[in-house]
Amino acid sequence: MPYAPEHKARTRSRIVESARRLFNRHGFEQVSIDQVMAEAGLTRGGFYHHFKSKDELYAEAVASYAARNPFAVKSAKAGERVADPRRLARTLVEMYLSDTVFDDVDQHCPLYALSTDVSRAGPEPQQAYTELIRGMTHVYRCALQGSRNADRRAKALVSLCVGGMVLARTTDDPHLRKSLRASARLEALALLEG
């Protein structure tokens, strides 16, 4: 007897979530389909009922961050929609560069967690990654609407947030990790206000 469509969608979602966590921890090349399926509590044979390739799964795992990131999850739990674009942008900066997000590797944004992997990946993962960049830029551009050089400043905000996290992840010095993110946060907030 075939599974209901809802079952297939839930199973696919479990696979994507497992892949996203494993890719964040280990990178694309180091994670096998067998590992993803085991993490999801499934067998390898079921993989091809949901995905054509590991690249397709990778692209979906990257894209899934838009709805599953700590910022979106917190907003959904609070049940409030932030109407003020500046407040939304400020909250995003503060959360993105926070200790809580930094310490939770499973929730790391692909923009800083997978940048090297995606640069070597195929077109599907790169397109998903590009959409995340555009989405984050859009949040900042909306906050800066009507300001001089809004597009350039929005892209600088994305660069500060992502760059601050990339650099913080590369060092074993806890003080430097914290100060890199704090500096990026201060500059980003100043750009939003200026």
24 backbone φψ class: left, alpha, beta (φ>0; ψ -120 to 50): alpha
Does residue 59 belong to any structural domain of this protein?
no
Whether the predicted pLDDT of 187 surpasses 60: yes
For residue 32, being part of any structural domain is answered with yes
Digit-coded pLDDT (tens) for 82-112: 578 999 899 999 999 999 999 998 888 888 8
Q: Which helix (H) or strand (E) holds 38?
A: helix 33-39
- Residue of 191, 40, 179, 61 whose CA lies nearest to 113: 61
Give yes or no: residues 33 and 121 share one domain.
no
**Average pLDDT rounded to a whole number, residues 119-125:** 84
Whether the predicted pLDDT of 188 surpasses 60: yes
Residue at 163 is within a domain: yes
| Predicted confidence (pLDDT) per residue in 21-80, tens digit | 999 889 888 999 999 999 999 998 889 999 999 999 999 998 888 777 666 656 656 555
CB atoms within 10 A of CB 129: 23
Both ends of the chain: CA-CA distance in Å? Answer: 62
Do residue 47 and residue 23 come from a single domain?
yes
Does residue 26 sit within a domain? yes
Q: With 60 as the cut, is the pLDDT of residue 1 above it?
A: no
Percent pLDDT > 70 in the chain is 90
Q: Which domain holds residue 87?
A: 67-193
Same domain, 83 and 167: yes
Would you tell me how many other CB atoms lie within 10 Å of the CB of residue 45? 8
- Give the pLDDT mean for 113-122: 83
- Only one residue has tokens 């795992």, namely 61
> Are 77 and 152 in the same domain?
yes
Percent helix / strand / coil, the chain, rounded to 5: 80, 0, 20
Backbone dihedral angles phi then psi of residue 149, each to the nearest 5 degrees: 55, 40
Cα–chain-centroid distance for residue 169?
A: 15
pLDDT at 170 over 90: yes
Give pLDDT tens digits for 57-74: 999 998 888 777 666 656
Nearest to 184, CA basis, from 133, 103, 112? 112
User: In whole angstroms, what is the distance from residue 62 CA to residue 48 CA?
Assistant: 19
